[in-house]
Amino acid sequence: MASDEMSPVPGQGSLSDRELQIVELVASGLTNQEISEKLEISKRTVDNHISNILTKTATGNRVALFRWALQSGKVCIDEVNCCLLPEVKAESQEA
């Protein structure tokens, strides 16, 4: 396993870059098999990552993990937990 996959990301608790990537893929609705195909790693490796993530985040399942990811800002889903700012029209300045 590459060293960049194991290093914790500052401000992200103890999740590695790879674990955060997997959290995003879980949040997007992919199965472990689909994640393994997308990342070109074995399903068993994905299973291990998911198990470690659930332990580190103290979540018991994928739904609880998704909720944790939303609440902690690890994933952003438009119109759910991201602030979408309205477009501001430029007003003409009268002198």
Residue 66, domain extent: 14-71
Distance CA 18, CA 21 (A): 5
Position 9 scores a pLDDT of 39
Q: Is the dihedral of CA 17, 20, 10, 76 positive or negative?
A: positive
Q: Is residue 23 part of a domain?
A: yes
Which pLDDT tens digit goes with each residue over 33-90? 999 999 999 999 999 999 999 999 999 999 999 999 988 888 887 666 565 556 666 6
Q: Is residue 6 part of a domain?
A: no
Q: Is 77 within the bounds of a domain?
A: no
Average pLDDT (23-37) is 96
Burial class (CB in 10 A: 0-12, 13-18, 19+), 63: exposed
Q: What's the CATH code of the domain at 57? A: 1.10.10.10
Give dist(CA 94, CA 75) in Å, integer. Answer: 43
- Cross-strand partners of 78: 82
